[in-house]
């Protein structure tokens, strides 16, 4: 009974498994990861990554006749993730010259790239045309005018999807709502800008209007806002057929599906999300008597998020009587800015002491020179000791890709694990890397 109670209070693992009290992921133990790769280290379970890609690809294939899943690489952009997603049948969404080149060098064909961005530079648009990027997501009238000029100069045509803003407010952090009326992204549907953009695009000979795109927000934990967005987009598709005489060949409903950060989180299943969208698009196309568009979705977080974890080493521990205990790790906001930016919450465990019951809550702090550099404000752990390994779960998305070098901390490596093997896919940054662009004083 006592043992059962202790087990109930032991760590709940969102990734990997427990072996003799140690956290093991992809067959590789925490101690070995720390010994061979150092800490902090971003660890990605390759099997989970592939399973997440497949969940989208197969759900689309099973429920809809013509579809394409696209990996939003911004969630974790490196050559390995772009290539893995492509090998699993996905295209890759890119937002900058940096992301374009990463995907291309990884061997993703340009035709399988979709370029987004609310302020693409002329150079980025020129690069996309030159490289033959498959789709350009047109966000605004400036994109349209530059594409018009650039396609004339290059004597080429480009395939575009217009990014529309349906005016939907999903319940998520305000910084990651992207499809509301008050948004820097896309052409608004509520105020008629979307319709004006469709008409303008149809006037441009080099800009081929393939379809429509929307993205309403990220870490969305319910299906209703996605359903509303799908309805709203299909209304525009029907209007285009009726009033402009053009059909929407492709409909990209964006990404945004939430993942589990805390054990109690219950995001919709990928299959339910896909099936729901497919049903709406099919029904609305039938009702409006328009051809079925190719259905696209563009997930980022739900591909890489729960496949990742970060392993840290605990250093200083500072109890403040009656207030809290700060447990500092060797990472922080420079390698995971999400708690500071979005009050994001995470689950943690002592990676070598998983069987020990949890005691009083502690605060996991980073090592940047700011009081706000806290990774987890409250998490119950067995009493931590300096030198312990700590794992934070569900850190695959928007950590490495948003990391910086505050306090001149080099960024951690990204390591894939599978079948008992660990392979580095992005090496640890060094202080020399950081200094390489400094111009030494005369
Ligand atoms: N497509 C477009 C056009 C997007 O803007 C995004 C994310 C995605 C797809 C992928 O959405 P996802 O499936 O990952 O939710 N840094 C924030 C999230 C920002 C999301 C921005 N756009 C965070 O850490 O929560």
How far apart CA 164 and CA 254 sit, in angstroms, is 11
Which of these, 32, 10, 11, 64, lies nearest to 279 by C-alpha position? 64
Q: Residue 70: inside a domain, yes or no?
A: no
How far apart CA 138 and CA 187 sit, in angstroms, is 9
Cα(424) to centroid(ligand 1), Å: 25
3-state secondary structure (DSSP) of residue 414: strand
167, 315: one domain? no
Domain holding 248, by residue range, is: 116-299
Q: Residue 378: inside a domain, yes or no?
A: yes
Q: What is the pLDDT of residue 6?
A: 44
For tokens 């772009």, the residue is: 82
Share of the chain above pLDDT 90, in %: 93
DSSP string, 9-32: HS---SSSEEETTEEEETTEEHHH
Q: Is the pLDDT of residue 293 over 80?
A: yes
Q: Give the domain CATH number at 283.
A: 3.20.20.10
Share of the chain above pLDDT 70, in %: 96
Does residue 307 contact residue 396 with C-beta atoms inside 8 Å?
A: yes
For tokens 């052409």, the residue is: 187
Q: What is the pLDDT of residue 181?
A: 72
pTM above 0.75, yes or no: yes
Render the burial of 215-240: b for 16+ CB within 10 Å, e for the rest. Answer: bbbbbbbebebbbbbbebbbebbbeb
Q: Residue 58: inside a domain, yes or no?
A: no
Q: Give the domain CATH number at 417.
A: 2.40.37.10
> Would you state the torsion angle of the CA atoms of residues 46, 50, 52, 58, taken in this order, to the nearest 10 degrees?
-170
For tokens 């563009």, the residue is: 298
138, 231: one domain? yes
Catalytic residue check, 369: yes
- Report the domain count for the chain: 2
22, 146: one domain? no
- Which residue among 173, 180, 218 has the greatest number of ligand 1 atoms within 8 angstroms of its CB, and so is best to mutate? 218
- The pLDDT-based confidence of 7 (bands split at 50, 70, 90) is very low
Token pair for 97: 């010259």
Q: Residue 24: inside a domain, yes or no?
A: yes
Q: Residue 66: inside a domain, yes or no?
A: no
Q: How many CB atoms lie within 10 A of CB 201?
A: 22
258, 197: one domain? yes
Q: Which of 1-15, 26-40, 85-99 has the lowest mean pLDDT?
A: 1-15
User: Cα-flanking dihedrals φ and ψ of residue 57, to 5°?
Assistant: -60, -45
Structure confidence by residue, pLDDT tens digits, 248-292: 999 999 999 999 999 999 999 999 999 999 999 999 999 999 999
181, 281: one domain? yes
Q: What is the pLDDT of residue 2?
A: 44
DSSP string, 154-188: HT--EEEEEEEE-----SS-GGGB-SSSS-SSSEE
Which of these, 131, 165, 160, 156, lies nearest to 144 by C-alpha position? 160
Q: Is the pLDDT of residue 187 over 70?
A: yes
252, 290: one domain? yes
Cα(255) to centroid(ligand 1), Å: 7
Distance of CA 334 to the CA centre of its chain: 18
Q: Residue 321: inside a domain, yes or no?
A: yes
33, 121: one domain? no
DSSP string, 75-109: GS-SHHHHHHHHHTT-EEEE-SHHHHHHHHHTT--
- The pLDDT-based confidence of 332 (bands split at 50, 70, 90) is very high
> What are the beta bridge partners of residue 177?
217
Instruction: Indicate the residue among 299, 331, 353 that finishes a domain.
Output: 299
Q: What is the pLDDT of residue 174?
A: 66
148, 294: one domain? yes
Cα(401) to centroid(ligand 1), Å: 11
33 by Cβ neighbours in 10 Å (0-12 / 13-18 / 19+) ranks as: buried
Q: What is the pLDDT of residue 202?
A: 98
Q: Residue 421: inside a domain, yes or no?
A: yes
Q: What is the pLDDT of residue 182?
A: 82
Mean pLDDT value across residues 184-188: 94
Instruction: Indicate the residue among 238, 271, 299 that finishes a domain.
Output: 299
Q: Residue 388: inside a domain, yes or no?
A: yes
437 by Cβ neighbours in 10 Å (0-12 / 13-18 / 19+) ranks as: exposed
Structure confidence by residue, pLDDT tens digits, 33-47: 999 999 999 999 999
326, 282: one domain? no
Residues at CB less than 6 angstroms from ligand 1: 72, 74-75, 93, 116, 176, 178, 215, 218-219, 254-257, 298-302, 338, 342, 398, 402
Q: What is the pLDDT of residue 168?
A: 84
Q: What is the pLDDT of residue 179?
A: 62
251, 318: one domain? no
DSSP string, 38-50: -SSEEEEEHHHHH
279, 388: one domain? no
Q: What is the pLDDT of residue 183?
A: 87
330, 345: one domain? yes
Q: What is the pLDDT of residue 317?
A: 98
113-119 long-range CB contacts below 8 Å, 24 or more apart? 114/70, 114/161, 114/252, 114/298, 116/163, 118/184, 118/185, 118/186
How far apart CA 256 and CA 297 sit, in angstroms, is 9
Mean pLDDT over the full length of the chain: 95
Atom number in ligand 1 closest to CA 402: 16
3-state secondary structure (DSSP) of residue 423: strand
- Which residue among 256, 335, 339 has the greatest number of ligand 1 atoms within 8 angstroms of its CB, and so is best to mutate? 256
Instruction: Indicate the residue among 299, 320, 341 that finishes a domain.
Output: 299
Token pair for 149: 């000029």
How far apart CA 390 and CA 381 sit, in angstroms, is 10
Atom number in ligand 1 closest to CA 301: 14
Cα(75) to centroid(ligand 1), Å: 7
């Amino acid at each position: 009974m006592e043992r059962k109670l202790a087990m109930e209070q032991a760590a709940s693992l969102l990734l990997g498994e427990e072996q003799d009290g140690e956290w093991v992921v992809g067959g590789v133990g925490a101690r070995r990861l720390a010994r061979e790769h150092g800490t902090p280290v971003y660890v990605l379970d390759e099997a989970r990554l592939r399973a997440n890609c497949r969940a989208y690809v197969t759900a689309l294939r099973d429920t809809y006749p013509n579809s394409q899943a696209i990996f939003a690489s911004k969630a974790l952009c490196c050559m390995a993730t772009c290539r893995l997603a492509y090998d699993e049948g996905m295209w890759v969404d890119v937002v900058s010259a940096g992301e374009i080149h990463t995907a291309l060098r990884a061997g993703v064909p340009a035709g399988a790239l979709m370029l987004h961005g609310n302020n693409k530079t002329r150079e980025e648009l020129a690069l996309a045309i030159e490289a033959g990027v498959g789709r350009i997501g047109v966000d605004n009238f400036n994109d349209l005018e530059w594409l018009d000029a650039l396609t004339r100069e290059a004597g080429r045509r480009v395939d575009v999807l217009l990014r529309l803003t349906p005016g939907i407010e999903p319940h998520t952090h305000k910084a990651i709502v992207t499809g509301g009326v008050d948004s820097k992204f896309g052409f608004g549907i509520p105020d008629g800008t979307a319709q004006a953009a469709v008409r303008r695009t149809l006037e441009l000979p080099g800009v081929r209007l393939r379809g429509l795109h929307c993205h309403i927000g990220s870490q969305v934990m319910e299906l209703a806002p996605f359903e509303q967005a799908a309805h709203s987009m299909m209304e525009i598709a029907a209007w285009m057929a009726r009033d402009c005489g053009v059909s929407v060949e492709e409909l990209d409903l964006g990404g945004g599906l939430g993942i589990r950060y805390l054990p109690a989180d219950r995001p919709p299943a990928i299959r339910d999300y896909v099936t729901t969208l497919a049903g709406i698009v099919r029904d609305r196309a039938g009702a409006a008597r328009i051809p079925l568009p190719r259905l696209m979705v563009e997930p980022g977080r739900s591909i890489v998020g729960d496949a990742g974890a970060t392993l840290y080493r605990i250093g200083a521990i500072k109890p403040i009587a009656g207030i809290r205990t700060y447990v500092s790790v060797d990472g922080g906001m420079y390698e995971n800015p999400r708690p500071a930016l979005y009050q994001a919450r995470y689950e943690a465990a002592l990676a070598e002491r998983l069987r020990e019951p949890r005691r009083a809550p502690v605060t996991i702090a980073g090592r940047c020179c700011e009081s706000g550099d806290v990774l987890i404000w409250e998490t119950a752990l067995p009493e931590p000791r300096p030198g312990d390994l700590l794992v934070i779960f569900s850190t695959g998305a928007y950590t490495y890709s948003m990391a910086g070098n505050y306090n001149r901390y080099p960024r951690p490596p990204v390591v894939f694990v599978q079948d008992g093997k660990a392979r580095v896919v992005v090496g640890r940054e060094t202080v020399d890397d950081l200094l390489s662009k400094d111009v030494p004083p005369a």
